[in-house]
Amino acid sequence: MKNFEGFGLNAVLTASLARMNYAVPTPIQAQAIPPALKGRDIMGTAQTGTGKTAAFAIPLVEALLSSPHGSALVMTPTRELGKQIMDIMHQLLGPQSPVKTAFLIGGEPMGKQFSQLNRRPRLIVGTPGRINDHLERRSLSLQDTRFLVLDETDRMLDMGFSVQIDRILKYMPAKRQTLMFSATMPDNILKLSKQYLHNPERVAVGSTVTPVQNIRQDVIHLSAAEKYNELLRQLGERDGSVIVFVKTKYGTERLAKRLNREGLRADAIHGDLRQNRRDKVIRDYREEKYRILVATDVAARGLDIPHIAHVINYDLPQVPEDYIHRIGRTARAGAKGEALCFVSPEDGKKWQAIARLMGIQTEDAAVTPFKPKSRNKKRGNKPFSGKKPFKSGKPHFVKRKDKSKNKKRA
Ligand code: AMP
């Protein structure tokens, strides 16, 4: 499919796509949209940044526009992801659309959601916890909901939403169209797809565990005590927006404050922030009012900010799969990006798990040596060789000051 015209979409949708500058469908869209328009269930696996939101949003909006009856529900794991989906949906529905929407996410006042629900919305986007809450209060009815999207299903299961999803589906008609998307396809997702989907069309883009190819990945082995100064050095060397991932909520705030004291504009985001604060942090970052976002994994998935040029894993993620989602915050929509991982001796096991998942050979086996010798001499052992695009899809390794390991080997 060369352009969207071949899909025979509603004129409203065609005009919206033109306004959004979506001229050519991405591979996941080219695969998913035609069967979804025919009413088929879809089981989709796609990396972040592939255009999967529009892959389900376009057939959903088409379904809403082509009939005055029936509603659609999109379930997604996080508020941030929900906001991005809602935003794409509003863009696709176009200005002054008669289709009313409700956005049902946790952490926001119920009052606003009640009034959205009173307007008889035909599109509901939300997180499973709050959707369930409304169903139990009877402020939401899904009796007429014939189109269901489960977005980032693996993440929803990781977050413990499976019981709630199950409960929500019991409120819905059995005769419906279901589109399920997941970044990975572990056994529990396969099982769920058998349970929730009817003869689904299987669509997939690329490998389910490899991050997009145009992300250059580097690794620095260092001690925990060296991380902060190394971060300052890295920030000084890089241009553009940076997202720094740390382990704890408290850690995000502390690091952002420290960076601000150094005169570097930074802010923090984590799950304990109030919703309006979270919205402001993201909005300001999107508008480039500051350069460095320090985040826990709450921001790792779905955050779609085109100008993120660098992802720095100050601490490794708890779950190896989150590594892929973290680095997927850069290189959005075909841009190039850089990801850097700090690995300290105590990270041994976690790092091995990530390396296994990514198919990386660790330094104990043969690795792509990273030897920017001349530069290192001149610039004081800086780990980057410059802006050479990273072609092989595997990280460069930079051995640095990993004293404990050296000792062990000696
Ligand atoms: P997603 O994977 O849904 O988060 O999308 C990644 C980015 O690609 C978003 O910024 C989308 O707006 C953009 N995008 C999605 N589909 C298209 C398309 N067909 N043409 C241009 N940009 C797109």
- The residues, ordered by sequence, that sit 6+ positions from 73 with a Cβ below 8 Å of its Cβ are 124, 125, 126, 131, 142, 145, 147, 148, 149, 168, 172
Report the distance separating Cα 97 and Cα 19, nearest Å: 15
Q: Are residues 223 and 318 in the same domain?
A: yes
Q: Are residues 200 and 233 in the same domain?
A: no
305 alpha carbon – ligand 1 mean position (Å): 11
Q: Are residues 248 and 200 in the same domain?
A: no
Report the distance separating Cα 235 and Cα 258, nearest Å: 13
Give domain status of residue 210, yes or no: no
Q: Are residues 19 and 158 in the same domain?
A: yes
Q: Which domain does 197 fall in, by range?
A: 4-205
Q: Are residues 250 and 396 in the same domain?
A: yes
Report the distance separating Cα 102 and Cα 132, nearest Å: 14
Structural domains of the chain, count = 2
Q: Are residues 251 and 230 in the same domain?
A: yes
40 alpha carbon – ligand 1 mean position (Å): 22
Q: What is the CATH classification number for the domain harbouring 310?
A: 3.40.50.300
Q: Are residues 58 and 81 in the same domain?
A: yes
The CB of 54 under 6 Å from ligand 1? The reply is: yes
Sheet holding 145-150, edge to edge: 101-104, 123-126, 71-75, 145-150, 177-182, 42-45, 201-204
**What single string gives the DSSP state of each residue in 129-191?**
HHHHHHHHHTS---TTEEEEEE-SHHHHHHTT-HHHHHHHHHTS-SS-EEEEEES---HHHHH
Residue among 2, 17, 26, 45 whose CB has most ligand 1 atoms within 8 A, to mutate: 26
Tally of CB atoms within 10 A around 323: 27
DSSP-assigned beta bridge partners for residue 220: 342, 398
| pLDDT per residue rounded down to tens, the chain (410 residues) | 578 988 999 999 999 999 999 988 988 999 999 999 999 999 998 866 788 999 999 999 999 999 999 999 999 998 888 999 999 999 999 998 999 999 999 988 999 999 999 999 999 999 999 999 999 999 999 999 999 999 999 888 878 899 999 999 999 999 999 999 998 777 788 889 999 999 999 998 754 444 556 778 888 999 999 999 999 999 999 989 999 999 999 999 999 999 999 999 999 998 888 878 888 999 999 999 999 999 998 765 667 788 888 999 999 988 777 888 788 787 766 567 888 999 999 898 888 888 777 766 555 322 332 333 333 333 333 333 333 333 344 454 444 444 444 333 33
Closest to 255 measured CA to CA, from 237, 274, 242, 238: 242
The CB of 347 under 6 Å from ligand 1? The reply is: no
88 alpha carbon – ligand 1 mean position (Å): 9
**What single string gives the DSSP state of each residue in 68-102?**
SS-EEEEE-S-HHHHHHHHHHHHHHH-TT-S--EE
Residue nearest to atom 18 of ligand 1 (CA): 22
Q: Are residues 311 and 359 in the same domain?
A: yes
Tally of CB atoms within 10 A around 281: 22
The CB of 34 under 6 Å from ligand 1? The reply is: no
Tally of CB atoms within 10 A around 25: 23
Residue nearest to atom 4 of ligand 1 (CA): 49
Closest to 213 measured CA to CA, from 336, 130, 104, 307: 336
Closest to 390 measured CA to CA, from 352, 360, 347, 346: 360
Q: Which two tokens stand for residue 25?
A: 């469908």
Residue ending a domain, among 177, 205, 233, is: 205
36 alpha carbon – ligand 1 mean position (Å): 18
The CB of 330 under 6 Å from ligand 1? The reply is: no
Q: Give the atom of ligand 1 at the shortest distance from the alpha carbon of 48.
A: 2
Residue among 4, 22, 52 whose CB has most ligand 1 atoms within 8 A, to mutate: 22
Q: Are residues 224 and 191 in the same domain?
A: no
Q: Are residues 219 and 332 in the same domain?
A: yes
What is the separation, in whole angstroms, between the first and last Cα of the chain? 59
Residue nearest to atom 1 of ligand 1 (CA): 51
User: Using H for helix, E for strand and C for coil, what is the string for 332-388?
Assistant: HHHCCEEEEEEECHHHHHHHHHHHHHHCCCCCCCCCCECCCHHHHHHHCCCCCCCCC
Q: What is the pTM (predicted TM-score) of this model?
A: 0.64
Residue ending a domain, among 183, 205, 227, is: 205
